[in-house]
Amino acid sequence: MEIKDKLKILADAAKYDVSCSSSGSSRKNKADGIGNAAISGICHSWSDDGRCISLLKILLTNYCIYNCAYCINRASNDLPRAAFTPNEVAELTINFYRRNYIEGLFLSSAIMINPDHTMEQLLNTVKILRTEHNFNGYIHVKAIPGADSRLIHETGLYVDRMSVNIELPSNGGLKLLAPQKKKEEIIKPMSLITKQHQQSKEERRAFKSSPAFAPAGQSTQLIVGATQDHDFQILKLSEGLYNRFQLKRVYYSAYVPVGVHPNLPVLANPPTLREHRLYQADWLLRFYGFSADELLNERQPNFDVQLDPKCDWALNNFSLFPIEINKAEYHMLLRVPGIGVQSARRIIAARRLAPISYDGLKKIGVVLKRAKYFITCQGKYYSEVGLKDHLIRESLTVKPILSPSNQNEKQLSFFDVYKLKESIITGEL
């Protein structure tokens, strides 16, 4: 098989993995080496679905021994299969990198033969890149659940980020759609990576030359909409992962129907709006000091798709508002809809020099469309509907846009009107 055909199959097989970030590592280039990592990460292109392309995201192989219903690469699925050799992947990465197509490699794999064999192949690939090609760009590799912990440990010493995909947010979903996998098997490598990462961090504090273990940390991915799990369960899980495993990111992937199975839901379109709400809530957890219990609860287990989670929270806790922009503390400013981390910081900096006026807020970059209902500025409240939370909710709700699927409506044509008039004139009504 030619390299182009392999690339076609194995890029296609990897596209459902949403992780794309190349940030968090400051690996430096070495003498006679190629590549370095940018701490902020760099996007190199944007594909037709609008998602960024930062890393060469491919599977080593899509031959799989597992048969998970939600996965395109399941053993029972009839699709073309291919496998790269570690050398082919290394060549491809280096040549793409030299042309500045990519920021590095994101290597994943289906499970060929057994987990240990697969992990060994992944390890070989990154070893070739780092030692033979002297490559110092970004590498993100999947840890294979069930593989020997020594293999995972050794791989971690070569790469910048490691991840294990949880995919299904609950044990029930796992039993239903991926009966060959067990929750414990997925959690085990995750806690191993967390431990090693922290240990190497501490060691490096004492001895700068001691090896770094996955310096850009760990991430995971959850599929949204393949099982009956509520947003509350998903968000609770993410919160746990951030707190217990110090994950850098949890990615959410709206389920794209890839097969027919009695246990799978039938969806017309991937639930991208729900995915978007979860990402918004995820940001609230990581950067805005919210907890999952504040945003959702057993009575309201799902997000309102028409209102973003922060607005929803603010309206449910309306007694806390309005707050005075020139006095409120940082953590409270962060909780106002329409004020983000950057504008909150700017408000703090600007009000040290002079009180901020309503007009000044706009210049700072606050989204007044949302913020005006929840703030006072130099003592004055600016919303036109007053302090009534039900009216505010109404004006903040996204108005449903007429969907193009409504086939019965059509635009009137000039000639239709003409015909109508003609029939009136001729009396043929």
Q: In terms of Cα–Cα distance, which of 396, 218, 240, 245 is closest to 318?
A: 396
- Which position among 75, 124, 236, 360 is part of the footprint of other proteins (CB under 8 A)? 360
Among 76, 78, 99, 428, binds other proteins (CB under 8 A): 99
* 140 in contact with other proteins (CB under 8 A): no
Q: Which is nearer to other proteins, 41 or 145 (CB)?
A: 41
- Per the CB < 8 A criterion, the answer to whether 2 and 139 are in contact is no
Q: Which is nearer to other proteins, 146 or 257 (CB)?
A: 257
Kindly state the tokens that stand for 189: 């490598």
One-letter amino acid for residue 296 of the chain = L
C-beta closer to other proteins: residue 211 or 355: 355
Q: Which of residues 261-300 bind other proteins (CB under 8 A)?
A: 269-270, 272
Burial zone of 106 (CB within 10 Å; 0-12 exposed, 13-18 middle, 19+ buried): buried
Per CB under 8 A, the list member of 64, 89, 90, 92 interacting with other proteins is 92
Rounded to a whole number of angstroms, the minimum distance from the CB of residue 379 to other proteins is 17
**Minimum CB distance to other proteins, residue 288 (Å):** 21
- Member of 87, 95, 243, 263 binding other proteins (CB under 8 A): 95
Of 282, 211, 220, 214, the C-alpha closest to 245 is 220
Residues composing the chain: 429
Among 1, 39, 98, 198, binds other proteins (CB under 8 A): 98
Phi, psi of 311 (to 5 degrees): -60, -45
Q: Smallest distance from the beta carbon of 104 to other proteins, in angstroms?
A: 11
* Binder among 353, 401, 402, 425 for other proteins (CB under 8 A): 353
Binding mask 23-62 for other proteins (x = CB under 8 A): -----xx--xxxxx-x-x-xxxxxxxxxxxxx-xxx----
CA distance 70 to 270: 13
In the β-sheet with 380-381, what is the strand arrangement from edge to edge? 323-324, 375-377, 380-381
85 binds other proteins (CB under 8 A): no
Nearest distance from C-beta of residue 417 to other proteins, angstroms: 33
* Binding residue for other proteins, selected from 256, 323, 332, 368, defined by CB under 8 A: 256
Contacts with other proteins by CB under 8 A lie at 3-4, 7-8, 11-12, 14-16, 28-29, 32-36, 38, 40, 42-54, 56-58, 92, 95-96, 98-101, 103, 137, 254, 256-257, 269-270, 272, 346, 349-350, 352-354, 356-357, 359-360, 363-364
